[in-house]
Structure 1
């Protein structure tokens, strides 16, 4: 049986339908919940693998964390509640999008819960805060979204793997697209934190025209009237934005309300995706983004995942969910390769690097820095026949593409 212990603030919707027993505050779950919240020691059970999932499950960006959590839960359910033949116990914590809170909760996962793997993290400022304590404890860390440049380069570690991407990469897709379209002048917009800086660096790596302005906003800003006025005054050929979650919802709606949609092409990454489309709906149809996976990707594993996810949760999965689903499959394959031995860290690390599993993106292989080498697509928002919205690939922009920071990683 698999147990999911929630920290305060973590929502149970979705997790309970994934076949994971929720340790709530009432009835049979009382003891487990108290252990998870009071710091009492939890003994490791033989024949069991313990996973700590770290996600943002409160505030305006909680929908991103919901996708991440639900994708991993579905992966575990698809494997019968076991990973590598071992009973899987999953403990979910809400990092609250606060680095200091995340550090304390991750230390609890490692020191109290004795987890074998840490999985997840939506935001790069949180990942940068927890990266060091996790890898220094020699606990394997499987990143399923945030891919800050230091973690891919100089701060790479044999204990950190990503089933997602390095932050720059999806944005590089739009930089190349803007270049291919012949845009000469582009306005750039992103939140002022590590992923925002990585996003614009990625865009500029392939766009060779003029950046008319480069604006960084506070993280979780929801009113973009000042920025939209600047865009209107600058009259660029296009706008590129990175605004995940609620920030993206508001930006897309306000962009249309300001009369810019249809006049100034809107390019983005993590702004119009399956986390924001239920709110933006028709306002986002036809907008382009960059991705290494989309629900409309045409391969058997992806189609099966999307169908199972929608049946389980009733909504269309985003990349956050797909990456986390792959993380469960990765861990499963690696544990199988070691015969269930979690104590031999060198052997388990090698098994993670070489694991073979049916990824939702098709082929899957790690680069030397343990970030994936993979295809990246220009994707476009579409309205499906059933009335739901999703992104679908338009063309492949980069084939078998590794990030530029791998050269700075000391692992070879």
Structure 2
């Protein structure tokens, strides 16, 4: 079923998933086959992120009957190792050798920005199920680029507004030094009206934060806003609690720093921490309840936002391929169908803006324990409704 070739993995989803799921009520297009190039980070301290995205995407395909829109699916998988140059090599190989019609899966914005160039210049569709760099939302937008997840700035924008409404006067900001880190802090500052008493960009994958924690203690802010995904978030949260700062300075983050890729490893050190998000494992709607239950049954863990957007990505493609009549070889028909596709998102309200980024709601969550003693993000209050990114005005598409 799985075959290794030159750093890529081919996954024939049709047989594996169709056998495990009820057939979807959609026609089969025997002459067509959808090839999806799935590039993500599957190794190193951030490898958990790629796993979440792929698991969510595959579950979405399973729930569509092992096909997408009635069309057989082949996933060509590649590990970008969180390195832009590796991501580009994988993308070029997938485009030239494998003839993929869709590229997706990238979780780091610096990798996506590098990969977007060859993919979009080839007029191949890129569907982002995670990374949402500002550069592709404004003047650099493309009719072949779609983001079904978020624009990087948006989740921290919601936290900036919340802390402003809460009356927090001073805040200290931290993020890794790469495009998403800069977008995150820019988004927070766009809506935070208090004083930023420190803004620090740390080395990507930095394991130790002793110097930064000492600087926070000296600055004495009312709040700390941090963005550290995956392994970086685990290290930062543990060290923040161990330093004693947790009891002195309130800690806030975007959902990506306090989700199920982080919480099980951090443990009680994360309790009482607040985040903003467009989705959580407890989001109240029928589609999400079914997704969370199915994900836990399939993988033995609670899904993260990455798994949720991976799942929604597959659901979006399923709807789009149906709308295109299964003609996945017609990229213009498929692109048009993606733009107008209607699907039931696990997050509830969702639609594409003119720049092909989401317009969606954002809310405040708190890390608590559920009835089984597991750390989860509990809904606390709405923050932004039908929120769009700040860059759409610079996109020439209508």
TM-score (norm 2): 0.93
Cα distance change, pair 326–7 in 1 and its aligned pair in 2 (3 A): farther
How far apart in 2 are the matches of 1:64 and 1:343? 30
Q: Contact 1:5/1:91 (CA < 8 Å) preserved in 2?
A: no
Asked whether 1:190 is paired with 2:175, we answer yes
Matches within 5 A, 1:14-29: 19=17
Matches within 5 A, 1:92-241: 92-241=77-226
Asked whether 1:332 is paired with 2:330, we answer no
Q: Secondary structure of the equivalent of 2:38?
A: strand
Matches within 5 A, 1:9-408: 19=17, 46-269=31-254, 270-408=256-394
Cα distance change, pair 382–347 in 1 and its aligned pair in 2 (3 A): same
Q: CA deviation at 1:52?
A: 1.0
How far apart in 1 are the matches of 2:101 and 2:109? 22
How far apart in 2 are the matches of 1:5 and 1:278? 32
Q: CA deviation at 1:46?
A: 3.4
Cα offsets for 1:10-30 (capped at 9, x unmatched): 899xx9x98399xxxxxxxxx
How far apart in 2 are the matches of 1:300 and 1:372? 21
RMSD of aligned Cα (Å)? 2.0
Q: Contact 1:4/1:89 (CA < 8 Å) preserved in 2?
A: no
How far apart in 2 are the matches of 1:252 and 1:149? 27
How far apart in 1 are the matches of 2:49 and 2:7? 14
Moved more, 236-245 or 177-186: 177-186
1:25 — aligned with what?
A: none
Q: Contact 1:6/1:92 (CA < 8 Å) preserved in 2?
A: no
Q: Contact 1:6/1:93 (CA < 8 Å) preserved in 2?
A: no
Moved more, 285-294 or 122-131: 285-294
Q: Secondary structure of the equivalent of 1:340?
A: coil
How far apart in 2 are the matches of 1:6 and 1:329? 27
1:38 — aligned with what?
A: none
Q: Secondary structure of the equivalent of 1:236?
A: coil
Q: CA deviation at 1:344?
A: 2.9
Q: Contact 1:9/1:57 (CA < 8 Å) preserved in 2?
A: no
How far apart in 1 are the matches of 2:264 and 2:345? 26
Where do 4+ consecutive residues of structure 1 move more than 3 Å? Answer: 3-12, 17-21
Cα distance change, pair 10–133 in 1 and its aligned pair in 2 (3 A): closer
2:23 — aligned with what?
A: none
2:396 — aligned with what?
A: 410
How far apart in 1 are the matches of 2:196 and 2:18? 48
Q: Contact 1:69/1:324 (CA < 8 Å) preserved in 2?
A: yes
Q: Secondary structure of the equivalent of 2:245?
A: coil
Q: Contact 2:323/2:337 (CA < 8 Å) preserved in 1?
A: yes
How far apart in 1 are the matches of 2:9 and 2:264? 19
Gaps spanning 5+ residues in structure 2: where? Answer: 20-29
How far apart in 2 are the matches of 1:4 and 1:366? 35
Q: CA deviation at 1:345?
A: 2.6
How far apart in 2 are the matches of 1:10 and 1:108? 9
Gaps spanning 5+ residues in structure 1: where? Answer: 22-44
How far apart in 2 are the matches of 1:6 and 1:286? 44
How far apart in 2 are the matches of 1:148 and 1:180? 27
Q: CA deviation at 1:8?
A: 7.5
How far apart in 2 are the matches of 1:80 and 1:208? 49
Q: Contact 1:4/1:92 (CA < 8 Å) preserved in 2?
A: no
